[in-house]
Every structure is written in structure tokens, then in C-alpha cells.
Structure 1
Amino acid sequence: MNYIGGKNMHRILIVDDEKDERNVIRFLLNKFNFELDITEAANGKEAISQLRNQSVDILFTDVKMPFIDGIQLAAKARIINPDIQIIFFSGHDDFDFIKKALSLRAVDYILKPVKPQEFQDTILSVIQNIKTLENEKVQKKANTSFLKTHILYRLINKTPLDILKNEYPFIDFDFLNEYYRLILIQFEEPFFDTLSKEEDTLFFYEQIKKIIPSTCDFIDLNPFQILILLKNDANYLEPPMQIASKIQTKIYSEYGIQCYMSVSKELSTSSEIPIIYEKLEEYLEDRFFYSETYIYPIDTSITQETEWLEHDEHLLHAIQEAIQYVDTFSLKQNINILFQKYYQKKEFSHIYVRYLFSRLLQLLCQVLKEYDEKTVNEKMSAIYSCKYFSEIENILLTIQEKVIKKLEKKEQSPKHVIHIVQQYITEHYGEDLSLNILAEKAYLSPRYLSEVFIQETGCGLNKYIKNFRMEKAKKLLHNTNMKINDICKEVGYQNFSYFCRSFRENFGTSPEKFRQMHGEKKKENY
């Protein structure tokens, strides 16, 4: 199935060595308003090539053709796509051909000349078959997901792995090996009782997923506990204790509820999962002694506290913003603060310090386009190989100097001004974005800003803002269950009717129909 014109469409491949015959079929498909992506092939060889290179849902093929006849083509098509819907049409009422067609699970065998009503009924039947198959696949996937969650739940509750494998022989238990670390969230009161709707629960999990840099699964163990199972991502760098701290802060800021988090060591085998879970609960027993501590286990050999780590994140964010806004003064100032913070601080983990400054390296190297991936990796390896902190400082100061020179050249360019305006729009698209406000942010007159923006982007400022807001609205309609009226306000529109009209102008359909076409967001099995 392909994606065309804003909706999912099924593709039909018409195969006949007579162009007139193909035109008749195309005409009938259009006559009956079948929403299908129509492709054609003049012979079997050409058809096989198309079948291999693109997804085809319906094969409508003549029986007698040169090179490869319809029966041979259908057999190969069935191998390429076992679920393909096959319709034969022929000028001969040949019983042998009909028998072969049935053996290939053909949907129908239509005689030429094609009768419009018979043709319409056949295509309707085929489309219904496709939808039924798709629904069955979705249901099977949902059932499998539910069973995997159930298996994890029982494993955590100490059901032996061998027993589970015997009970569910049709499940591939390799999925357990994807997990490499667990994080347990403990609430003092039933958390999900505070969420009024099912949509609120889905939204909660989506917000948590945004914090976690690797893919993960969730299990609601009971009203007081949620288990997060982190998957082994190659790009995973952020310390798990820091992830837990971010989640804890997010939950408190959004819901006003304190929770406690315990983080496991790395898993060696999936059989360790119940043991690790038990250990996570033991860690949380220390809450009795540490009333204001929310992340466990407490490592007394490392003194970084949550506030200290949050300050690091704040500094890195400030450095990133300074680069984006070409603010060389703030860039130098914040990098200097970061260096001073860790200079001669022996009590801190060397691994964390190297990790922190390797992130700074990555931020700086984004400016240096001449630094390819290999060069950046070499610099990161150098940081991890340094014997002394001063060596790390020297590496980064050298790179900082190159970055400053690059940014100083950009400071006066029109592209820099446009970038500042675009960045402000990205961060404040839900607010008032008048020309006067944007001009003030760029330290330009409104008229000059308007002219420069068109000159540099080829697009008027108002049109750019409208397109940006519309794209945000489209994503919210597709990925969330927010009310359309709330989305209207979220993307900066106060007048609901004007918002709907603007959306229709951009995408050719109303927000309500757009959401219907893409389907309501389904609840995931956690």
C-alpha cells in the first residue's frame, strides 16, 4: 500500500499486451470512482519487474500474452507477495485456465469483453478482501504485543522462562534479548487514577518517550508501579540515572506528583529480569532514610546531585542556543563556566566528565562543516584517551577558536538574520507573531525584514508562518488525540473558523476529515 495525495491508496497493476484493453480497464476504474493507484505493464516480464520494485495489492492480468503468460505471471506474483489479489481476464472461456487460476487462489476470472457491472462487483469484492486482510494483520500484531506484555509481566513475577516458552511456542522469545536495562517508577498513590481519560494515559507515555533517547517498552505492573524496559540502542549515550532524573522532574512538573525511580545495572541475559526487578524494589526501600532523594540506588562514590546534572544540561542548552543565534559572547562565556566547574574536581566520575565534554565537542563540530564523521569520531576518541582534564580542555579550546571565527563571519549576513527569525517562529509559533514583534527580535525595521525574508527564502513572512503552523497542526492531528479546537489554539489561531479555512487551503480537506482519513490514534499495549 502506498501513500498518495494525503491518503493511503491501494495499487492495481493492469497487464495486457493490448493497450486498448488496458485503457478499457483504466476507464472502468475511473468510471466507478475506485480510489486506486493505477499502473500498467505490456507483458509479463515488465509486470514482474514492477512487482519486485513496488508494492502491488491487485494484479489484473490477461491470460494469453507473449514471453510470460498470465498463469506464470500470477504464480511469480504470489511468491513475491503472498497476499496479492489476482484477477484474470481473457477472451477464451477455457476450463483448464480456470482450474489453474483457482489453484493460484485467484479472486475471479472475467471474460472479455468485460461487463461493467461484473467488473465493478469484482473490484469491490477485492478491495473488501484487502481491507479484511489488513484488519487481521493489525489484530494479529495487537494480540502479539499483548501476549509479549503478558509474558514480561509473568516473567517479572518469577514464572520460569522454560514454562513460558512451552506455553507460547508460537512467540519468538528473542524479543526479551532487546532489553538491556530497567527503570522502575514508584508512586505513593495510584497514579493512573489521577488521569481522567484513556487519552491522558497515552499522552503521558508519549511525553515520557520523548525524554528517553533509546526505544523502550512500558508495563503497568500495578496502580503504584510502572516498569520501563530500555532497548539496546547503538547511539545510546546518556547516563540512565540522568534519564530517570528527567522523567521524575517531568512527572512532578506536569502532574504535581512526586515519584521515586530506581535504575538497574545492565542485563546480561533475559533470565535476569525477575532478579533485577526484585533488586529495583530493594533500592527503593532506602526512601525511608532519604526523604528528599528520588533517584536510586544512591552511589556514595559519586557526588553529582540532580541539581548539578541539571546545571550541566542548562549550560549545554545555552551553548547550543548561542551557536544557533550566532552569539559568540555567550558561547565563550558558557563554555568557560563549564570548564571551571570541572577543573580540579577529583570527586567526579571520569567517565561522566568525558561523556559531558564529548557532547560539547559534538555541538561545536556542527558548525565546522569540514569536520566529517571520521574526524569527529577521532576527536571524541582523543577525549576518552586523555590522561588529564587539561588535555580535554586544550582539544576543545582549539575547536572553540575555529567555531568562533566561523560564527563571526556569519554575524552580519542576511542569512543569520533570517535564521534568528525562523528560530523564534519555531519556538513561539503558538504566540502572536506580528511583523513588528519579529522585526524587534532581529533588530531591524519591519519593512526591511519583510524584504530580506522574501529575498533570502523566496517566501513571504506571513506565508512562512502560516505554512509552519499548518504543518504543526497536521502533526498534532495525526499523532495525538487533542481536540481540534485545542490544536487551533496550540498553533496560534484564535478564530476556529479561520483555522479550518486555512487548513483546507493548505491540504485540500478539513481538519476533521484529515484525522478521519488517517484513522484515530490507537492505544498502544504497554
Structure 2
Amino acid sequence: MYRILIADDEKDERSVIRFLLDKFQFQLDIIEAANGKDAIHLLEKESIDILFTDVKMPFVNGIDLAKMAKSINPNIQLIFFSGHDDFHFVKNALSLRAVDYILKPVNPNELKQTISSVIQNMEQQNRELKREKSNIAFLKNHLLYRLLNGTSIDVLKNEYPFIDIDYLHEYRRMILMQFDVPLFDKLLKEETSLLFAQIKQCMEGMSFDYLHLNPYQLLLLLKKPIEQTEIRQIAKNIYQQIHSTFGIHGYFSISEEVEAPENIPERFKQIEYYLEDRFFYKDNYLYPIECGKLEQEEYLEQDENFLLSIQNAIQYVDTFSFRLSIDTLFQKYHSQKQISHIYVRFLFSRLLQILCNALPEYKETILNKKISAIYTCTHFSEIEQIIEEVKRNVLSFLEKKEKSPKHVIHIVKQYIHEHYVEDLSLNILADKVYLSPRYLSEVFIQETGSGINKYIKQVRMDSAKNLLIHTNMKVNDICKQVGYQNISYFVRSFRESFGLSPEKFRQSNGKTKEKTN
């Protein structure tokens, strides 16, 4: 129903117009204003389709009122009526694109014809607007469908220059609804309307768009940032409403937050992938599987520590820690059904990458093939088999390396670098690698060309030199810092290595004298 505002300072005139509009049975919502000022207030407050105004009124005349009305609603229909056939007023009325200029007293038939014409024009405009909106809506849906299927934003901008794609920035979350039957082919028009009414009710006033992907799938695009717990509750409510009303089972997949239009394809692939879990959890209708805070906090931290310990075990050729970390990780997930399989696949793909990187013969193509296999496994035991095969190869590689003299020397050197501040001797180092002092001494000389004591001295002297150049520490303190208890012995050893005493070495390298005690 259209709304008409009659503005005239004469009550009788307003009553006549109202009487005639009722008499001719125009379906109009009629409101009145006794002057231009009141009319402006109503125009600002109400949605007015037709302004029927006298030209001469107190406070604000009809021409100025019409100008104000046009600024508020450019599509408003203007009809002037006046007791004066004034060319000046007529000219102004025409400049405002008034529909008609009626002289008082109003001729009933002329009024009927004018109002009928106005209503016909508005209905025609509405039909055209609806058609235009329908065309734009179709193109927007087509554009969105292509975006979901991987067409880039830049390509879409070039192909649809007449569509402002800023509307894509409004989308912040997605819910993919998939049903066991072709629901959208089966529903009657009235049932489809009911379904969307129920969805709208569950949204609780939240603005959203939707896209029919196929008879089985509907995509909801929410236009507001929303917490995961809240959107899961909304999805639950929608599912329960549909299941209760139509008796149809389905699966709903919820995306992470969409930061920008460029993320929409990625988020869509993500929610499609979540739905693959329905083969593992047929009784569950909401995806991804909710894992709770344990996965989000403790599990993630634990897993990072496991991966780090496995990397360290490979680096330091520690077969015991290597076995323990991998076996513990498998035990953790072997019977765990509260964790999203997406996360599990991701975690063990990372583990596989760490293992393959340790094996020179494993090229990138082999790694990619095995990672792809992990993402197509239908059960965790299959992932375990893939990892177990590579784990055996890594373990064999580490065991060979563990027995080699080079590995023994690597451990000894590492221990010296980490503990040179402490008391070090051939006997202490031999105990650390479970070898006799004599055998260790021979192997060390064979591999490095230098004796162990000489190597220890070199490490300590290099550290002392660095402290003299880069710090203002006292020589006495540096002596202790690099593992010497006797200052005289330290100074003599330093002079043997660098040809200068520590103090003169510092001075020659641009450092100020050390402070006196």
C-alpha cells in the first residue's frame, strides 16, 4: 500500500481530498499536515510515496516543501494544487518534475485520473526496479559461484565492470548445508518460503545472503563477525528446525572467519573438506567436529613439543628419544575420537615432512605423494602405516650414524662447547660416550687431526677472545668464565694462543683498560 501526504493549511480542503480518495477506493494510507513545517517533520519521520500539497502555506510554501521532499526521497511523486493559476508556480512545479498541477476547487474526475496515473507509474517503476534487482542478484550469484570455484577477484572485476563487488567484503562467515536428498527439487514453493523463514528466524536478525549450489546444497553467507560458539548454536537451531518440519537429515559445515573476499574460495574448500568427516561420524550433523579447549590449548602445545623433540633426536642422533617421541604421539591419537581429522592429517603430514627431510634419498616428489596419501586415508591406522614405513628407514639411518666415529666426535665436540666452563678431561668425555679414554683419544685425533685437550683449549681461548673484544669484563672474571681457576695459567695459555696478554690484546683491539678492583 502506498502512502500519501496531504499538506494544506485549510482543514476543509484536506477533508475533501481524503473524501474523494476514499470514494474512488484508492488503496492508499492517507496522512495529513496542516502546514509546510509539519509536513517536513512527517517526511523525515515517515516513508511517503506521494506528496499532495497546496502551493501557498504558512511557514514553508508548497514549492519549498516539494524541494525538501525530493532531497529526502528523490522518487517521491509530487502533485500541486492551488487556488491561483500562477505561471511562476507552474514553472517551479514543472522544474521539480511534478506529476500534475491541479487548480482549486478540485475536480473529482481530474483528481481520479491524476492519482490513477501516479499509481500506475509507481507500479511500473517498481516492476522495473524488481526486474533490475533480479538481474543484478542473478549476476551477483553467478559471480559468487565463480569465486567459490577459484576464479580470481581481478578476473571477475574485469568481466563484471558494471557490478560493484564491494558487497563481497560483507561476508564474514559461511555455513554449508548438505542434505541426504535433493531437498530443493522436492520442496514446493510454499515449503521453500517456510524453510527460509525458519532460517531467518534462527539468525535472530542477523543479515545474510544465500546461494543455491545444487539440489542438495545451500550456502549461507553471514554478514557479521561472530564467535564460533555462537555460529555453531545458530547452525544447530537451523538444523533442528528443518529436521523437525521436513523430517530430512543433513550435515552443516561452518567456516572460519572470512577476512577478505580473496579468502572466500579457501574457506569454502575448507568447509567442503570438513563434510568429508560425515563418513567417520555419521551421527554427527555439525562440522568441524568440536574438540574443545583441550585440542586448542594443551593438545597443540604438546604436539609442537613432540615434533620439536623428534627433530632434536634426529639432529643429535638420539635413537631412544626418537622412538619414544613417535610412539607416544601415535598412542595419543590412536584411539582419540574427539580431535578433528583435519588437524590429525595436518599434524602427521608435518611429522612425515620432518622424517623425509632426514633421509637423503627421499625427494620432494616422494614426500608430496605420501602427504597426498595421508589426506586420502579413511582411518587413522592407514596414516600410522605410512609413517611407520618412513620411521623404520629413519631409525635405520640413525642407528648406522650412531655407530660411526664421526657421530661420536660430534657428540664430544658438542659437549665441550656446552660445558667448557666446567672441569673437562679426557676421562670425563670418555664416560659421556661410553668409550675408553685411550680409544676416544685415538678416534678424536684420527677425525680432527688434533688432540682433545688442545681442542678444549682452543674452544676456551676463542671464548676468552670474544669476551675481551665485545665486553668490559675483568680479566679475572673472564678467566673463570672460560673454565680456568688459575689466572697465571690462563694468561700464559692466552699468550701462547695469540702472542699477547689478555690486557694488551684488548687494548690492541680498541677496548679500554679494564677497571681496577
TM-score, normalised to structure 2's length?
0.49
Q: Which protein is bigger by CA-based radius of gyration?
A: 2
Which TM-score applies when normalising by structure 1?
0.49
Greater relative CO, 1 or 2 (CA 8 Å, sep 6+): 1
